[in-house]
Amino acid sequence: MSTAPHFDIDVPAFWQDPYPALARMRKEAPIAFVPQLGSTLLTSRDDISISEKQIDVFSSHQPAGLMNRLMGHNMMRKDGEAHMNERKAIFPAISPKTVRSHWTAQFEAHATRILDELKPDGVVDFVQAFALPFSGECLKSITGLTNIGFEAMDAWSQGMIEGIANYAGDPEVEARCHAATSGIDAAIDDMVPGLRKTPDLSLLGVMLQTDMPMESVRANVKLAISGGQNEPRKAIAGTVWALLTHPEQLALATTGAIPWLQAFEEYARWISPIGMSPRRIAKPWSIRDVSFETDERVFLMFGSANRDEKHFERADAFDVRRDTSKSVAFGAGPHFCAGAFASRAMIAEVALPAIFNRLKNLRLIAHQPARIGGWAFRGLLDLPVTWDA
């Protein structure tokens, strides 16, 4: 165990709103052991940015970790050459060129179809009505699992997200995760023959054209689903909510004074959908007066880094005019999110402008505030809205 000072948290309160506790940690103990989580947390932006690049110390390779055990050994849990080889293998599916020439048009078609079907029939939960199906349909296209419904995609993503954050060891949560991964394996098995015969630009189609072992193909599809559904769903709903609660900033986006991408990037800084990434200490190490032992677990708290007062003035405020260049919402170093370009296209180029162009006078419901929760993965649980027909 590290020599970091102990910092106790109220776990339910931390789930409801982690930011007050994280702010105290940054001030009192920026590297702290939290016994309720069984891990040492790094909360300052500088420590996290430096440490994530030191893969010889802060290793993503975690043989006994929940992700490896429940989802298989994917590229996110590999370092060095092993990581880069798989990253290069999937690049043709999610490169900026492929996103621009192939996926963006499909994203637009999904958004148009879903928005065409929406009606302001009383109060509408925008998470369920748009953010969830849009993310799911886009992810079906990108992964190549077009043989399932978006509902299954979302359920599988949620099952795995809850499973890999199940540090309390709840057997029911683990069982739901196993059910999700079994469903994904069956969907992959169904699609493989056709994609081997007629390859396409999907993740599954591209990986099947390489010599990647099938267990790695499966693990990387599961990785794409775990993050590619959950995070865009939360970011779409969250950015819409943030703009609706800051109408003067929404006006900046709708008039073109600031790009939609800036609004999305600021939301991802302000409420990072991925609030934490775990690491394994690969060798004895020290940061200032804190020493770490080999194989102990460390949490890089991205959500805290993105509210670090040393780098972001009025860090707790949502401000689309802010310089977000120091945000680590998509990570840093060799494990920078491989799907970042696709996510930006989905959300900033397609979803946000389509939503505010199509849904006239989109507005919140005064007596039904949106609910938000999570710390490892954070976002809106619902978003009650209405608009004019």
Residue 368 CB neighbour total at 10 angstroms: 13
Q: Which amino acid is at 291?
A: S
Residue 62 has pLDDT above 90, yes or no: no
pLDDT score at 98: 97
- Top pLDDT among 331 and 18 is at 18
Lowest mean pLDDT among 62-76, 265-279, 291-305, 351-365: 62-76
pLDDT score at 63: 79
- Top pLDDT among 23 and 169 is at 23
Mean pLDDT, rounded, of the chain: 94
- Establish how many alpha carbons lie within 13 A of residue 196's alpha carbon, considering only the half-sphere containing its beta carbon: 8
pLDDT score at 254: 97
pLDDT score at 69: 85
pLDDT score at 67: 85
- Top pLDDT among 119 and 267 is at 267
pLDDT interval class at 271 (50, 70, 90): very high
Question: Tokens standing for 212?
Answer: 């990647």
What percent of the chain stands above pLDDT 90? 85
pLDDT interval class at 333 (50, 70, 90): confident
pLDDT score at 121: 81
What percent of the chain stands above pLDDT 70? 100
Residue 389 has pLDDT above 90, yes or no: no
- Top pLDDT among 130 and 228 is at 130
Residue 179 has pLDDT above 90, yes or no: yes
pLDDT score at 1: 82
Give per-residue burial for 67-85: e unless 16+ CB within 10 Å, then b: bbebbbbbbbbbbeeebee
CA 35 vs CA 1, 38, 41, 164, 207: distances in Å: 11, 5, 10, 18, 40
Task: Name the DSSP letter for residue 246.
Answer: -
Cα–Cα distance for residue pair 376/180, rounded to 1 Å: 20
Cα–Cα distance for residue pair 46/310, rounded to 1 Å: 9
Kindly provide the residue ranges of all beta strands, DSSP E only, lying in the chain, ordered along the sequence: 31-34, 39-42, 58-59, 124-125, 277-281, 285-287, 290-292, 297-300, 363-364, 372-373, 379-380, 384-386
pLDDT score at 105: 98
pLDDT score at 210: 96
Q: Which CATH class is domain 11-386?
A: mainly alpha
Residue 335 has pLDDT above 80, yes or no: no
Residue 136 near residue 150, CB atoms below 8 Å: yes
pLDDT score at 381: 96
Cα–Cα distance for residue pair 19/15, rounded to 1 Å: 10
Cα–Cα distance for residue pair 126/244, rounded to 1 Å: 13
- Top pLDDT among 331 and 327 is at 327
